[in-house]
Chains A and B, each alone.
Chain A
């Protein structure tokens, strides 16, 4: 067995070094010889037993009598019998209540002491019912009690085995096991254990000697040690570096929020400016401005949440309203033939909860710079049953790029940049996609080192019906990234609902990869 003695506690070290193979070891001796406190001694033996360095050889019970505080007082001031005897000798006869009052004793104590002393013919009542001393000295058993008290006051206790038969009988009247506060002695039964060193213990001892570990090494470094420089005279005890650690609850960022922050920082690094907007939108911005016809199936009551009150916003900003309405109807001057229906000016003011992040891209077009790159990580609401893959509300990551000469090939380049920088993709594949507001439309699929092939996002060039109606006459690349899947992977989750869990413990312990 390879014994690592570096992890032994100084109490163990000193004990081991102090004892030898074959000799009896008792806690009493250790307490006495090494100056351990009882608790320290108990700990040292318990640890060494646990390691198999010492073993129990025998165990017996020892009875002793500890002097109580009451006993100490009696030793000092005298037993009631002694005090009464002395009082009567010095002051002549007194009634029992007078004695009690003069000596500050309980009547009952005076009564019982008188009973004892009168039975021994030491005290007697005179004709006036007053007690008087009728002998010269106290009886033998009171003298014996006095002797026991005097003997005990030095050691604090008396071992049963050291008493004579008479003494044992006398101390019986003075000692109690429990409730001893009004007795002179407390009877204590103590297990007497004898330990011996084991073979392993002996090897450990030798290892300690070899390593010159004394147990006197320095423990906790204190300010006093530093100020006095006392640490210079010793060596530091090495600690067990693998000891169990305690749980700390730190203040912490939310792991999902940190991930989104990381995505935002990436996009900032790629030259994008962040946009944001209100949760309550209207049909105009949520759909009309994106050239989704008002009868489009995704704009159904079963796909969008309507606001109860106010049902409608007051107005839609001009000139966007007129331009978008005309574009829907006949294409306005965008070169489109339009959808060929009559634009509903009341429906367009109906208020909804934002259902897609592209809404904010549309808003941004009305105030965008050229060239310009913009993005948002925005909360959206979709009319869906809530389950592992659908939340009542969720984040979409969307953006636009405006430039005089941006085109499909730039869009592919942009997607490649996202795939590599944000998703860590190994391979990128583009396929034609479909979105009502972009033409052409591209989906980007990536091969992720962990997730394999999946759709990273959708993108396209905004239709002229979208951009020109909102006053932009340059091409606009629009993109959206499905980062939820990567977020789940990053956080080791497989249920979207977990991203917004209210469970504090779960959030406290969640880590990103």
Chain B
């Protein structure tokens, strides 16, 4: 359960940092009267949807951290046979990274008000994401072709479930991206596009990082990294 506890510790640190700025040590029973009526409230400049997305990412992060915990625990049992990673995954990784970069470009474009570039980057991001998903399906096919079927070994099961879950999350993101792209054609005011484009970009960056974490586990790099940290600590 190390990975979920690690993930939750990060959340706990963030939450503590945030709470420490909310006046949790104040004495509300003393604070009243005109002077204290509206005590230096932080201006709520962040849109609720942005906060909503951040909370959702914490939930999704917790979901995958738990899966990774289960993976690590199951891995230690004797019947585990690590499966080889199909090389196409590297191409897929590049596609997902491209998609993420294109969405970053879209946020820059929308801030500058350049609609042509915004449209181009959104479409590029969508195509790259679709390429990633198709590549994942090809990877599945290759593995099945080589005999690494579901149920043959838990390592295979985890690979299919985790890539599947990641792909489903990206698919959900694509729905949002499609709606945003459609909005670019429909809505004349560029400032109204800022929020949805930024939300898409945040979600995409998160899914990219998540994918890199998953990849580092399958390649064994994460395990080596943890071993090095452990040695340093002891």
Whether A and B are associated in the same complex: the answer reads no
- Residue ranges of A at the interface with B (Cβ–Cβ < 8 Å): none
